[in-house]
């Protein structure tokens, strides 16, 4: 059986038998790959320590067609990302990103998804200011969602298709996947989204972190419901943990809600 080597990030692990572990990697060349790492629980040393959740590196695995579980030969860690364990918000955002990929990705190569996931985990590790971390967390979720091919329609009304004015206050229609203009929002119960929030959404979908982001829990509600409607058909369980890790907000306004 020939081995294959591919860049990979470890998203989940659990014990198997007396001494082994089942590891779920997202790989650049083969999508989701589940492997058994035999005997690793009885070992010690650098190689075992780097088999940590969110670590990235080169995975060497013996793959056999039509099998769901493969045998791992070795994993060379290039990024441990131990910083995520020291910051609850960063860790909870990384966990939500991992759940999103594990729930939707398949065993097919999607290099864009892999690269977006890698960039998102790096951004969570390297955020310079704690005040930017909530926006970074939301941006990571939006960019991964976008890499799967799902993004809300923000420039034109999803009902009448007319362009939205720059200063327009409309409502988000989750079933239709985007914004309704002010006129078409009269019979809509979706959350209101004003021009500032719409601009912030556009930034986060493109991978930017908006400066001065407010109403982060409402923004979290938008991405959570959008994922549930269009990507998974169910809520991401880890988003509740992410919501509890967000800092308290003193300001309540009409922009998103």
Q: In this structure, which CATH number among 3.40.1010.20, 2.60.320.10, 1.20.1440.120, 1.10.3720.10 belongs to the domain 83-245?
A: 1.20.1440.120
Contact 48, 12 (CB under 8 A): no
Top-tier CATH class for 3-80: mainly beta
Cite the residue boundaries of each domain of the chain with CATH code 2.40.50.140.
3-80
Contact 32, 13 (CB under 8 A): no
Share of the chain above pLDDT 90, in %: 77
Q: For position 65, what pLDDT does the model report? A: 83
In angstroms, the CA 229 to CA 175 distance is 7
Cα-based angle 208, 214, 217 (whole degrees, multiple of 5): 95
**CB proximity list for 81: less than 8 A, separation 6 or greater:** 52, 54, 55, 56, 94, 121, 122, 125
Cite the residue boundaries of each domain of the chain with CATH code 1.20.1440.120.
83-245
Contact 236, 227 (CB under 8 A): yes
**Arithmetic mean of pLDDT, 69-94:** 95
Q: For position 44, what pLDDT does the model report? A: 54
Confidence of residue 49 (pLDDT cuts 50, 70, 90): low
pLDDT in tens, 195-230: 999 999 999 999 999 988 889 999 999 999 999 999
């Amino acid at each position: 059986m020939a081995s294959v080597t591919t860049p990979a990030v470890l998203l989940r692990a659990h014990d198997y038998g007396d001494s082994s572990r089942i590891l779920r990697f997202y790989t650049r060349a083969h999508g989701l790959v589940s492997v058994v790492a035999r005997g690793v629980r009885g070992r010690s040393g650098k190689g075992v320590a780097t088999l940590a959740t969110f670590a990235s590196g080169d995975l060497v695995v013996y793959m056999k067609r039509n099998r769901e579980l493969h045998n791992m030969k070795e994993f060379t860690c290039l990024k441990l990302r131990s910083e995520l364990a020291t910051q609850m918000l960063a860790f909870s955002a990384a966990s939500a990103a991992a759940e999103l990929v594990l729930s939707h990705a398949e065993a097919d190569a999607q290099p864009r998804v892999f690269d977006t996931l890698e960039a998102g985990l790096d951004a969570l590790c390297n955020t310079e200011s704690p005040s930017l971390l909530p926006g970074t967390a939301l941006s990571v979720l939006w960019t991964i969602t976008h890499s799967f091919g799902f993004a809300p329609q923000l420039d034109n009304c999803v009902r009448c298709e007319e362009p939205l004015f720059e200063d327009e206050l409309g409502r988000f229609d989750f079933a239709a996947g985007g914004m309704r203009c002010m006129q078409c929002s009269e019979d809509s119960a979706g959350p209101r989204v004003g021009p500032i929030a719409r601009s912030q959404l556009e930034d986060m979908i493109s991978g930017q972190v908006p400066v001065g982001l407010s109403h982060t829990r409402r923004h979290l509600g938008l991405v959570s419901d959008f994922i549930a409607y269009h990507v998974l058909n169910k809520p991401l369980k880890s988003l509740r943990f992410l919501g509890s890790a967000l800092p308290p907000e003193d300001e309540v306004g009409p922009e998103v809600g």
